Amino acid sequence: MADQGQHVHDLTPEDVSKGVAEGRYLLVDVRELNEVAVEAYPSGVVVPLSTFDPQGIPDPRGRQVVFACRSGKRSVTASVAAQAAGLAYDKHLAGGMLAWKAAGLPTKAGR
């Protein structure tokens, strides 16, 4: 799934939702702004993959960073890129927004 010895760990929508609610995870949405405008994760921080800069991710303040996108492909790309930049961000939401909604978790209207 990842290259150059980097590993990306899959998390379920339930894991991510619970971790965010408990203050353990910072959800970083790497979808594009036009996608986020339609539907957004309730507490995600948007850092679009098209202009992705790992240094643009806010300080997680002790939380673990979890990347998310629409289906789980771009979030893996973002995690590998962050690891290549020396950041230990090795988690992503497997299945992305599609899995999040399939699990019945809430979304919000975009911004």
**CA-to-CA separations, 11 to 4, 44, 65, 85, 100, in angstroms, rounded:** 21, 15, 12, 22, 11
Residue 6 has a pLDDT of 72
Mean pLDDT of 83-93: 96
Residue 1 has pLDDT above 70, yes or no: no
Residue 109 has a pLDDT of 83
Mean pLDDT of 97-107: 97
Question: How does the average pLDDT of the chain come out, rounded?
Answer: 93
Q: How many Å apart are CA 19 and CA 55, to the nearest integer?
A: 23
